[in-house]
Amino acid sequence: MSKKFYISDENKEELLKEINSRLKLPGPLMPILHEAQRIFGCIPVEVQKLVSKNTDISVAEINGVVTFYSSFTLHPKGEHIIGICLGTPCYVRGSQTILDAVKADLGIDVGENTEDGFFSLEAIRCIGTCGMAPVMSIDEEVYGEIDVTKAKRLIKEARKK
């Protein structure tokens, strides 16, 4: 059984203010969803229902947008996001092995957060650094020519910062 997402009065008011300021503009849904993601850190169904109620856009349409675009997430992410590229050049050079080792090391699967909420793990697709394959990222920092040992070291260093 999943826990219900909590929407504070303060966050609800902030979102309603954003909805009202954008509702009369053309194509308001995407900017509203970006603001919802900023305010709540994710856009679970409870937030989608709030947006729907205040925009007259169906929850089905909102959910379709939220689940289509990778910039939106249904679940809160960790403080720091680790991404392991599984694009073809990275994959051919062993990124799946690195991903498997990082999953085991952190005790989580792709799309999950560590118990302390410090890290989220993502399998990412090409980020345009194929010459450095395999690559991983921690937040906005990209690291190339990694192996299992280097990946674990980078994660350990990130935890210390």
pLDDT digits 0-9 by tens, 18-64: 999 999 889 999 999 999 999 998 999 999 999 999 999 999 999 99
Q: Over range 100-110, report the average pLDDT.
A: 96
pLDDT for position 3: 59
Domain count, the chain: 2
25 versus 95: the higher-pLDDT residue is 95
Beta strand residue intervals within the chain, DSSP E = 80-85, 119-124, 136-138, 141-143
How far is it, in rounded angstroms, from Cα 109 to Cα 134?
Answer: 19
Helix (H) or strand (E) holding 14, with range, is helix 9-22
Task: Round the average pLDDT of the chain to a whole number and report it.
Answer: 93
Domain presence at residue 74? no
Please determine, for residue 1, whether its predicted confidence score (pLDDT) is greater than 50. no
Do 34 and 88 have their domain in common? no
Domain presence at residue 23? yes
Domain presence at residue 75? no
